[in-house]
Structure 1
Protein backbone atom coordinates (compact mmCIF):
# COMPACT_ATOMS: atom_id res chain seq x y z
CA UNK A 1 0.00 0.00 0.00
CA UNK A 2 2.74 2.45 0.96
CA UNK A 3 4.77 1.45 -2.11
CA UNK A 4 1.82 2.22 -4.40
CA UNK A 5 1.25 5.56 -2.65
CA UNK A 6 4.90 6.55 -3.05
CA UNK A 7 4.86 5.56 -6.74
CA UNK A 8 1.62 7.51 -7.29
CA UNK A 9 3.04 10.63 -5.64
CA UNK A 10 6.19 10.41 -7.76
CA UNK A 11 4.23 9.96 -10.99
CA UNK A 12 1.79 12.78 -10.21
CA UNK A 13 4.64 15.11 -9.25
CA UNK A 14 6.45 14.25 -12.46
CA UNK A 15 3.39 14.90 -14.61
CA UNK A 16 2.54 18.20 -12.91
CA UNK A 17 6.10 19.47 -13.17
CA UNK A 18 6.54 18.99 -16.93
CA UNK A 19 7.22 22.20 -18.83
CA UNK A 20 5.11 22.68 -21.96
CA UNK A 21 7.48 25.47 -23.04
CA UNK A 22 10.41 23.11 -23.25
CA UNK A 23 11.20 22.47 -26.91
CA UNK A 24 12.45 18.96 -26.16
CA UNK A 25 9.40 18.16 -24.04
CA UNK A 26 11.60 16.65 -21.31
CA UNK A 27 10.64 15.98 -17.74
CA UNK A 28 11.65 19.10 -15.85
CA UNK A 29 11.17 18.04 -12.26
CA UNK A 30 12.50 14.78 -10.97
CA UNK A 31 10.68 13.29 -7.99
CA UNK A 32 12.15 13.12 -4.50
CA UNK A 33 15.50 11.43 -4.14
CA UNK A 34 15.46 8.13 -2.31
CA UNK A 35 18.05 5.73 -1.03
CA UNK A 36 18.23 1.95 -1.30
CA UNK A 37 20.14 -0.07 1.27
CA UNK A 38 21.16 -3.66 0.77
CA UNK A 39 21.83 -5.00 4.26
CA UNK A 40 24.26 -7.91 4.25
CA UNK A 41 25.70 -10.11 6.97
CA UNK A 42 29.33 -11.18 7.50
CA UNK A 43 28.83 -13.90 4.84
CA UNK A 44 27.79 -11.20 2.31
CA UNK A 45 24.23 -12.52 2.25
CA UNK A 46 21.31 -10.10 1.99
CA UNK A 47 19.49 -10.56 5.31
CA UNK A 48 16.24 -9.10 3.94
CA UNK A 49 16.19 -11.58 1.05
CA UNK A 50 16.96 -14.45 3.41
CA UNK A 51 14.06 -13.21 5.54
CA UNK A 52 16.31 -13.06 8.60
CA UNK A 53 14.85 -9.63 9.25
CA UNK A 54 11.20 -8.61 8.84
CA UNK A 55 9.93 -5.07 8.30
CA UNK A 56 8.65 -4.85 11.88
CA UNK A 57 12.21 -5.58 13.09
CA UNK A 58 13.58 -2.47 11.34
CA UNK A 59 13.26 0.87 13.09
CA UNK A 60 14.35 4.08 11.36
CA UNK A 61 14.43 7.34 13.31
CA UNK A 62 15.09 10.79 11.86
CA UNK A 63 17.53 11.99 14.53
CA UNK A 64 17.24 15.68 13.67
CA UNK A 65 13.44 15.70 14.02
CA UNK A 66 13.17 12.87 16.58
CA UNK A 67 10.58 11.21 14.35
CA UNK A 68 10.17 7.56 13.44
CA UNK A 69 10.17 6.87 9.70
CA UNK A 70 7.50 4.30 8.90
CA UNK A 71 7.00 4.77 5.17
CA UNK A 72 9.97 2.66 4.08
CA UNK A 73 9.62 -0.40 1.90
CA UNK A 74 11.48 -3.65 1.39
CA UNK A 75 11.66 -4.42 -2.33
CA UNK A 76 11.43 -7.86 -3.89
CA UNK A 77 15.21 -7.59 -4.42
CA UNK A 78 15.65 -7.30 -0.65
CA UNK A 79 16.51 -3.60 -0.56
CA UNK A 80 15.38 -1.25 2.19
CA UNK A 81 14.18 1.94 0.48
CA UNK A 82 12.92 5.30 1.67
CA UNK A 83 12.59 8.80 0.28
CA UNK A 84 14.71 11.71 1.47
CA UNK A 85 12.99 14.62 -0.24
CA UNK A 86 13.58 17.35 -2.81
CA UNK A 87 15.84 19.75 -0.91
CA UNK A 88 19.54 20.28 -0.30
CA UNK A 89 19.97 18.89 3.19
CA UNK A 90 21.87 16.69 5.59
CA UNK A 91 19.89 13.76 6.94
CA UNK A 92 20.84 11.73 9.99
CA UNK A 93 19.01 8.50 10.67
CA UNK A 94 19.34 5.94 13.41
CA UNK A 95 18.59 2.49 12.07
CA UNK A 96 17.95 -0.27 14.57
CA UNK A 97 17.84 -3.89 13.43
CA UNK A 98 16.27 -6.17 16.03
CA UNK A 99 17.77 -9.40 14.75
CA UNK A 100 21.47 -8.59 14.40
CA UNK A 101 24.45 -8.38 16.75
CA UNK A 102 25.39 -4.88 15.58
CA UNK A 103 21.82 -3.66 15.79
CA UNK A 104 22.23 0.12 15.92
CA UNK A 105 23.92 2.41 13.49
CA UNK A 106 23.71 6.02 12.35
CA UNK A 107 23.61 6.86 8.65
CA UNK A 108 24.44 10.35 7.41
CA UNK A 109 23.17 11.37 3.97
CA UNK A 110 23.80 14.65 2.17
CA UNK A 111 21.65 15.71 -0.77
CA UNK A 112 21.94 18.59 -3.19
CA UNK A 113 19.22 20.30 -5.21
CA UNK A 114 20.43 21.67 -8.54
CA UNK A 115 18.98 23.27 -11.64
CA UNK A 116 20.41 22.48 -15.06
CA UNK A 117 20.95 24.81 -18.01
CA UNK A 118 17.49 23.95 -19.33
CA UNK A 119 15.86 25.04 -16.07
CA UNK A 120 15.06 21.51 -14.95
CA UNK A 121 15.64 20.65 -11.29
CA UNK A 122 16.77 17.49 -9.61
CA UNK A 123 18.04 16.33 -6.25
CA UNK A 124 20.94 13.93 -5.87
CA UNK A 125 22.80 12.19 -3.07
CA UNK A 126 26.25 13.73 -2.67
CA UNK A 127 27.60 11.81 0.33
CA UNK A 128 26.70 8.85 2.53
CA UNK A 129 28.53 7.68 5.63
CA UNK A 130 27.63 5.42 8.49
CA UNK A 131 28.72 4.92 12.09
CA UNK A 132 29.19 1.35 13.40
CA UNK A 133 29.00 -0.43 10.03
CA UNK A 134 30.71 -0.66 6.67
CA UNK A 135 28.96 0.96 3.70
CA UNK A 136 29.78 0.93 -0.02
CA UNK A 137 28.10 2.55 -3.02
CA UNK A 138 27.14 -0.01 -5.67
CA UNK A 139 25.29 2.17 -8.14
CA UNK A 140 23.43 5.48 -8.31
CA UNK A 141 21.38 5.33 -5.05
CA UNK A 142 22.08 1.72 -4.00
CA UNK A 143 24.35 1.28 -1.00
CA UNK A 144 25.42 -1.96 0.67
CA UNK A 145 25.48 -1.87 4.44
CA UNK A 146 27.44 -4.68 6.08
CA UNK A 147 26.33 -5.61 9.58
CA UNK A 148 27.77 -8.29 11.83
Structure 2
Protein backbone atom coordinates (compact mmCIF):
# COMPACT_ATOMS: atom_id res chain seq x y z
CA UNK A 1 0.00 0.00 0.00
CA UNK A 2 1.30 3.43 -0.83
CA UNK A 3 2.31 5.74 2.02
CA UNK A 4 -0.28 8.39 1.11
CA UNK A 5 -3.01 5.72 1.30
CA UNK A 6 -2.10 5.12 4.96
CA UNK A 7 -2.93 8.66 6.04
CA UNK A 8 -5.70 8.55 8.62
CA UNK A 9 -5.34 4.79 9.21
CA UNK A 10 -5.36 3.89 12.91
CA UNK A 11 -2.05 2.01 13.08
CA UNK A 12 -2.95 0.57 16.49
CA UNK A 13 -5.90 -1.21 14.88
CA UNK A 14 -4.43 -1.82 11.42
CA UNK A 15 -0.73 -2.48 11.84
CA UNK A 16 1.43 -1.82 8.79
CA UNK A 17 4.38 -4.10 9.64
CA UNK A 18 4.79 -7.39 7.79
CA UNK A 19 4.92 -9.29 11.10
CA UNK A 20 4.09 -8.53 14.75
CA UNK A 21 3.18 -10.16 18.06
CA UNK A 22 -0.43 -10.09 19.19
CA UNK A 23 -0.65 -11.77 22.59
CA UNK A 24 0.47 -15.38 22.14
CA UNK A 25 0.20 -15.19 18.33
CA UNK A 26 2.71 -14.12 15.73
CA UNK A 27 0.75 -12.35 12.99
CA UNK A 28 2.27 -12.47 9.50
CA UNK A 29 1.03 -10.42 6.57
CA UNK A 30 1.30 -12.38 3.34
CA UNK A 31 -0.53 -13.31 0.15
CA UNK A 32 -2.16 -16.58 -0.89
CA UNK A 33 -3.99 -18.43 -3.63
CA UNK A 34 -6.21 -21.40 -2.86
CA UNK A 35 -6.53 -24.36 -5.19
CA UNK A 36 -8.24 -25.35 -7.32
CA UNK A 37 -8.96 -22.52 -9.68
CA UNK A 38 -8.21 -19.44 -7.59
CA UNK A 39 -7.30 -16.41 -9.70
CA UNK A 40 -7.05 -13.79 -7.04
CA UNK A 41 -4.08 -13.82 -4.69
CA UNK A 42 -5.67 -12.21 -1.66
CA UNK A 43 -3.78 -10.49 1.14
CA UNK A 44 -4.09 -12.36 4.42
CA UNK A 45 -2.96 -12.31 8.03
CA UNK A 46 -1.75 -15.66 9.40
CA UNK A 47 -1.97 -16.07 13.18
CA UNK A 48 0.62 -18.65 14.24
CA UNK A 49 1.45 -20.14 17.61
CA UNK A 50 4.28 -22.59 18.20
CA UNK A 51 4.98 -22.70 14.45
CA UNK A 52 1.42 -23.71 13.54
CA UNK A 53 -1.15 -21.55 11.72
CA UNK A 54 -4.20 -21.37 13.97
CA UNK A 55 -6.27 -18.65 12.33
CA UNK A 56 -6.43 -16.66 9.11
CA UNK A 57 -8.02 -13.30 8.42
CA UNK A 58 -8.21 -11.04 5.41
CA UNK A 59 -5.81 -8.11 5.49
CA UNK A 60 -7.91 -4.95 5.98
CA UNK A 61 -5.11 -2.87 4.41
CA UNK A 62 -5.23 -4.77 1.13
CA UNK A 63 -6.34 -2.61 -1.78
CA UNK A 64 -7.44 -5.79 -3.58
CA UNK A 65 -9.59 -7.81 -1.18
CA UNK A 66 -9.93 -5.15 1.56
CA UNK A 67 -10.01 -7.74 4.34
CA UNK A 68 -12.59 -10.01 2.71
CA UNK A 69 -11.90 -13.70 2.05
CA UNK A 70 -13.74 -16.48 0.27
CA UNK A 71 -14.68 -19.72 2.03
CA UNK A 72 -11.61 -21.53 0.63
CA UNK A 73 -9.28 -19.04 2.28
CA UNK A 74 -11.24 -19.10 5.49
CA UNK A 75 -10.96 -22.92 5.53
CA UNK A 76 -7.23 -23.02 4.74
CA UNK A 77 -6.19 -23.91 8.30
CA UNK A 78 -8.13 -27.18 8.02
CA UNK A 79 -6.59 -27.75 4.59
CA UNK A 80 -3.07 -27.27 5.97
CA UNK A 81 -3.47 -29.84 8.72
CA UNK A 82 -5.94 -32.35 7.25
CA UNK A 83 -4.65 -35.89 7.91
CA UNK A 84 -5.17 -36.90 4.25
CA UNK A 85 -3.15 -34.00 2.83
CA UNK A 86 -0.28 -35.13 0.63
CA UNK A 87 3.04 -33.78 1.91
CA UNK A 88 5.58 -36.12 0.35
CA UNK A 89 6.04 -37.81 -3.00
CA UNK A 90 4.47 -41.25 -3.28
CA UNK A 91 5.15 -44.03 -5.78
CA UNK A 92 2.64 -46.69 -6.76
CA UNK A 93 3.73 -50.15 -5.58
CA UNK A 94 0.63 -52.13 -6.58
CA UNK A 95 -1.35 -52.37 -9.75
CA UNK A 96 -3.16 -49.28 -11.00
CA UNK A 97 -6.35 -48.97 -8.94
CA UNK A 98 -5.02 -50.96 -5.95
CA UNK A 99 -4.34 -47.74 -4.02
CA UNK A 100 -0.99 -49.03 -2.75
CA UNK A 101 1.79 -46.47 -2.39
CA UNK A 102 5.18 -46.02 -0.78
CA UNK A 103 6.81 -42.80 0.31
CA UNK A 104 9.91 -41.85 -1.67
CA UNK A 105 12.36 -38.97 -1.36
CA UNK A 106 12.08 -35.79 -3.41
CA UNK A 107 15.31 -36.73 -5.21
CA UNK A 108 13.85 -40.11 -6.16
CA UNK A 109 10.69 -38.43 -7.44
CA UNK A 110 12.63 -35.90 -9.54
CA UNK A 111 14.91 -38.64 -10.92
CA UNK A 112 11.88 -40.78 -11.83
CA UNK A 113 10.20 -37.87 -13.62
CA UNK A 114 13.41 -36.96 -15.47
CA UNK A 115 13.89 -40.59 -16.55
CA UNK A 116 10.35 -40.77 -17.97
CA UNK A 117 10.64 -37.42 -19.73
CA UNK A 118 13.97 -38.37 -21.32
CA UNK A 119 12.52 -41.71 -22.47
CA UNK A 120 9.63 -39.88 -24.16
CA UNK A 121 12.07 -37.45 -25.79
CA UNK A 122 14.21 -40.33 -27.05
CA UNK A 123 11.28 -42.36 -28.39
CA UNK A 124 9.10 -39.57 -29.78
CA UNK A 125 11.14 -36.34 -29.76
CA UNK A 126 11.07 -33.41 -27.33
CA UNK A 127 8.15 -31.81 -29.18
CA UNK A 128 5.96 -34.75 -28.08
CA UNK A 129 5.53 -33.17 -24.63
CA UNK A 130 3.18 -30.22 -24.75
CA UNK A 131 2.48 -27.92 -21.82
CA UNK A 132 -0.77 -26.10 -21.39
CA UNK A 133 -2.75 -24.62 -18.57
CA UNK A 134 -6.39 -23.91 -18.07
CA UNK A 135 -7.38 -20.66 -16.46
CA UNK A 136 -4.14 -19.88 -14.60
CA UNK A 137 -4.26 -16.31 -15.81
CA UNK A 138 -1.27 -15.22 -13.79
CA UNK A 139 1.13 -17.62 -15.58
CA UNK A 140 -0.10 -17.54 -19.17
CA UNK A 141 3.18 -16.56 -20.78
CA UNK A 142 5.63 -18.78 -18.84
CA UNK A 143 4.35 -22.28 -19.64
CA UNK A 144 5.31 -22.45 -23.35
CA UNK A 145 8.90 -21.54 -22.46
CA UNK A 146 9.19 -24.54 -20.13
CA UNK A 147 8.70 -27.11 -22.90
Structure in which a larger fraction of residues adopt helix: 2
TM-score of the two chains, using structure 2 as the length reference? 0.22
| Structure exhibiting the larger radius of gyration computed from Cα positions | 2
TM-score of the two chains, using structure 1 as the length reference? 0.22
> Relative contact order (C-alpha < 8 Å, sep 6+): which is higher?
1
